[in-house]
């Protein structure tokens, strides 16, 4: 057997560039981090378009019903698709980027790689979540659905919904109860429109989320009288068995379920009047404290999946890493979006 000189970390093999032993790409690590941090994108309708820059969605009409079909009476159809609307890609892709000194990268490769890849994926996931949340606010504030027509045109019954409750301004018990009341009202509204509420999601701030989870927890001895003090979302059977035991901590990716609606905690709920960035996502989100929606409310489209490119700059002895994605989105069915506002 021939003698060989094995490669060792930071040295490579005899006669080779010591940097050759370094991992050449960051794609897998960034993509894993992106998938770990994204929250909204998995709860909306997602499409990949292979050609062009738009997704065309047909507008469906309503079916007419003839209660009494008279002898010899002609039925002329009615309803049916009459036109369509389009959801477009953004004007330009978005990118997360950083540059590292190659000596630092060589000496402490794995410490640098894992942390920088995590930050890169998190930054892209956070920005994409914010964009989708802004589209949900636009949908909630849209008066009529583009996707539903009656015989005279757009049906005003199928517009977005805005629930205003001053109690939502503060993350306390009153705010938590206001969230649950809004979920109940939203499910009733959808059922009254003959819409299946299955799959509904509610996103609120972490502070408000934990107030929901601790509903029913005793705060004083008087709260324990007459057998009270059982937490509603503490996994207590006598209180409905919702949630999990309070001894178990919940991470940012965990959720609760109330009346079939999934509650998640997010730091990416838009607030204020957003006038910067791509015009497609600009919206006045003043007073927004939460969102309730079904996946069909918004479409997220993508032309180019997340890609990671690296560039070695020999002049600076550094390595530039750029993670980019080309996506877009738009409101499909505003009647499936509700914004919770404090004012």
Query: Which carries the bigger pLDDT value, residue 328 or residue 308?
Result: 328
Contacts 24+ apart (CB under 8 A), 159-163: 159/334, 159/335, 160/334, 160/335, 160/337, 160/338, 160/339, 161/186, 161/189, 161/335, 161/337, 161/338, 161/339, 162/338, 162/339, 162/341, 163/338, 163/339, 163/340, 163/341
Largest CA distance in the chain: 98
Chain centre to alpha carbon of residue 10:
41
10 confidence band (pLDDT: 50, 70, 90):
very low
What pLDDT was estimated at residue 7?
A: 41
Using the predicted structure, report yes or no on whether residue 189 has a pLDDT greater than 80. Answer: yes
Helix (H, G, I), strand (E, B), or coil: what is residue 23? Answer: coil
Cα separation of 250 and 43, whole Å?
A: 20
Please name the helix (run of DSSP H) or strand (run of DSSP E) that holds residue 283, with its range, or none: strand 283-285
Q: Compute and round to an integer the Cα radius of gyration of the chain.
A: 26
Give first-to-last CA distance, the chain, whole Å: 79
Phi and psi, residue 37, nearest 5°: -100, -20
Q: Region 255-271: what's the mean pLDDT?
A: 93
Compute the mean pLDDT over every residue in the chain, rounded to the nearest whole number.
82
Among the ranges given (129-133, 227-231, 301-305, 332-336), the one the predictor scored with the smallest mean pLDDT: 227-231
Residues 291-313: tens digit of each pLDDT: 999 999 999 998 877 888 888 88
* DSSP string for 106-138: HHTHHHHHHHHHHHHHHHHHHHHHHHHHHHHHH
Using the predicted structure, report yes or no on whether residue 24 has a pLDDT greater than 50. Answer: no
**Under 8 Å between Cβ of 321 and 101:** no
Residues 116-150: tens digit of each pLDDT: 888 898 999 999 999 999 999 999 998 777 666 55
What pLDDT was estimated at residue 225?
A: 61
What pLDDT was estimated at residue 9?
A: 43
CA 288 vs CA 164, 284, 303, 330: distances in Å = 9, 9, 30, 19
Quick one: DSSP state of residue 148? B
16 confidence band (pLDDT: 50, 70, 90):
low
Helix (H, G, I), strand (E, B), or coil: what is residue 260? Answer: coil
Helix (H, G, I), strand (E, B), or coil: what is residue 304? Answer: strand
What pLDDT was estimated at residue 23?
A: 47
Using the predicted structure, report yes or no on whether residue 40 has a pLDDT greater than 60. Answer: yes
């Amino acid at each position: 057997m021939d003698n060989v000189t094995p490669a060792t970390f930071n040295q490579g093999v005899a006669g080779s560039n010591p940097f050759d032993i370094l991992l050449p790409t960051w794609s897998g690590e960034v993509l894993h981090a992106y998938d770990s941090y994204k929250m909204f994108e998995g709860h909306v309708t997602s499409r990949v378009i292979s050609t062009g820059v738009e997704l065309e969605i047909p507008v469906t009409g309503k079916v007419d019903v003839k209660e009494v079909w008279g002898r010899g009476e002609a039925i002329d159809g009615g309803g049916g698709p009459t036109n369509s609307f389009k959801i477009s890609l953004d004007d330009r892709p978005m990118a997360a980027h950083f540059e590292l000194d190659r000596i630092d990268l060589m000496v402490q490769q794995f410490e640098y790689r894992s942390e920088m890849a995590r930050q890169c994926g998190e930054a892209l996931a956070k920005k994409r979540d914010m964009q989708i949340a802004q589209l949900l606010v636009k949908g909630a504030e849209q008066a009529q659905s583009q996707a539903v027509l009656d015989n005279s045109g757009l049906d005003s019954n199928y517009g977005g919904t805005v629930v205003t409750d001053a109690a939502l301004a503060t993350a306390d018990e009153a705010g938590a109860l206001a969230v649950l009341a809004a979920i109940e009202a939203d499910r009733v509204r959808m059922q009254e429109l003959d819409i299946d509420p299955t799959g509904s999601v509610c996103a609120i701030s972490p502070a408000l989320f934990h107030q929901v989870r601790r509903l029913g927890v005793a705060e004083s001895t008087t709260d324990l009288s007459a057998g009270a003090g059982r937490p509603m979302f503490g996994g207590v059977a006598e209180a409905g068995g919702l949630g999990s035991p309070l001894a178990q901590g919940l991470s940012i990716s965990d959720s609760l379920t109330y009346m079939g609606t999934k509650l998640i905690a997010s730091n990416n709920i838009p607030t204020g009047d957003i006038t910067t960035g791509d015009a497609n996502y600009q919206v006045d989100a003043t007073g927004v404290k939460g969102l309730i929606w079904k996946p069909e409310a918004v479409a997220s489209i993508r032309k180019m999946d997340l890609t990671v490119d690296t560039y070695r700059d020999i002049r600076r002895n550094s390595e530039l890493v750029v993670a980019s994605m080309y996506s877009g989105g738009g409101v499909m069915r505003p009647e499936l979006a509700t914004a919770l506002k404090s004012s």
